[in-house]
Structure 1
């Protein structure tokens, strides 16, 4: 299923809750979604099931997940699975296509690789969205070789809060691919009428959206992967 088809199904299909992922800190429901012709598995995170956090406004995590997908698509990398914001059995929330990961991959070993292009793209995306919770368990390698990432609800803070297990490129020059993608992204963020800017405005505050542009500008100015902050834990806990 291509991304456009997946987004259409996620927006228009009927959600049926099949179970709950009990290890998640917020209400995370495993569902099937169908429009009578197509069907797929997906994850549904209702806003009503979000646990309050001291450093993020209440009821905003689902929108941040959708914003992460929008930025991922604007970069052209499809790091985040198709994700929409819609109503569901327990109210509005985030609905994301379920990714069937390759269970033969050693995720700990994968997280330490330096030559994996998809992993390096993920590190750049995390910098742009200021992901404060990139754990090893959020890596979703597929049997076809593509790498997805999940759980981007605690992203897009104004302050620098990058917290990740992917620090192996810190201080190294960004790839030409990354610089080209970031240049395209900057142009779209500077246009308030661009669909990306409109989507971010729906889910982020004005200062948070401005901070996204500022982080892209910094990446393009310094042209290197960032370093951990000395004032903020650099790795999430637990890291897996």
Structure 2
């Protein structure tokens, strides 16, 4: 972790999207227009010029027993950088900068298609065509239900990325359904821990072989971690601990060696709660 400042300057994340104006997004006035109240950490919506963004100040992060205080914003940026290396663009453009409540993470706002549901709950056993079953449970009215998610390449790429990132909090509400079929993933503060923490609702592909596209994405991340000139190896040490960067490389190696999407393992719950 960079001890000289609570955050890095975010330049690497901005540079990842040549369509953005770096100076405006890094230093333009961030005007808050609302707050996401259900969020566990302070989460605001706002604008930088004409660009809609989400802003999560470090000062609004809630303490967690297994993630060091004040590190969630940096993990969000690191997750975006890893996502970009895969070439899948799962995590929207995310960077670090100052704001009305101090330094924090800023991310481009994404407008979802309300007519699509990548992850949902259905009556028990009534799995729709094109969906995969994850687990059964009971709803608030004590009715048996099933959690399911779509079986699409876009969502599978997110599931693979979550393994690489060691995502401890992939809820259904953290999947954004775009009108063109693309799937964005958000809320990556609980990622990239050195210890196994994978908790996700995307368990529908247990033990299925990785596609060549998925393997290539993981290979790109693994090679970039070793690149300390132009790759992830040059930037992640400002955002994460050395052990966390090493663990990222080890997860890539394990995934490439297995060649399959993993099944749940370890003593931790396999699914975050609540799942949405």
2:117 and 2:150 map into 1 onto residues whose CA distance is 11
Question: Which residue in the other structure is 1:25 paired with?
Answer: 40
Where does residue 196 of structure 2 map in the other structure?
160
C-alpha offsets along residues 121-143 of structure 1, whole Å, 9 cap, x if unaligned?
00011000100000000110111
Residue 113 of structure 1 and its aligned partner are, at CA, apart by: 1.8
Distance in 1 between the 2:115 and 2:176 partners? Answer: 11
SS for the counterpart of 1:6 is coil
Q: Is residue 215 from structure 1 mapped to residue 251 from structure 2 by the alignment?
A: yes
5 Å-filtered alignment, 1:180-219, equals 180-219=216-255
> Given the two structures, how large is their TM-score scaled by the length of structure 2?
0.81
Contact 1:47 1:92 (8 Å CA) reproduced: yes
Structure 1 match to 2:272: 236
Distance in 2, Cα, partners of 1:6 & 1:95: 13
Q: Answer 1 or 2: which has greater strand percent.
A: 2
Residue 92 (structure 1) aligns with: 103
Provide the residue aligned with 1:47 in structure 2: 58
- Equivalent residue runs for 1:73-112 within 5 Å: 73-109=84-120, 112=149
Output one character per residue of 1:38-62: Cα deviation in whole Å (capped at 9) or x when no partner. x111100000000010001110000
Partners of 1:180 and 1:211 in 2: CA distance: 19
**2:14 corresponds to 1:3:** no
Alpha-carbon RMSD: 1.5
1:141-186 Cα offsets, whole Å, 9 max, x none, are 1112211010000001111110000011111111110111211221
Deviation at 1:7, TM superposition (A): 6.8
The Cα offsets for residues 172-230 of structure 1, whole Å up to 9 and x where unpaired, read as 11111011121122111112223422221111000001000000000111111111014
Which of 6-15 and 178-187 deviates more?
A: 6-15
- What is the alpha-carbon distance in structure 2 between the residues aligned to residue 228 and residue 193 of structure 1? 35
Q: For residue 72 of structure 1, what is the aligned residue in structure 2?
A: 83
CA distance, structure 2, for counterparts of residue 199 and residue 45 of structure 1: 21
Query: How far has the Cα of 1:93 moved from its partner?
Result: 0.4
Normalised by the size of structure 1, how large is the TM-score? 0.93
> Which of the residues 167, 170, 193 maps onto 1:134?
170
Q: State the SS of the aligned residue for 2:150.
A: coil
Post-superposition CA distance 1:5-60 (Å, at most 9, x none):
237243243210111111000000111111xxxx1111000000000100011100
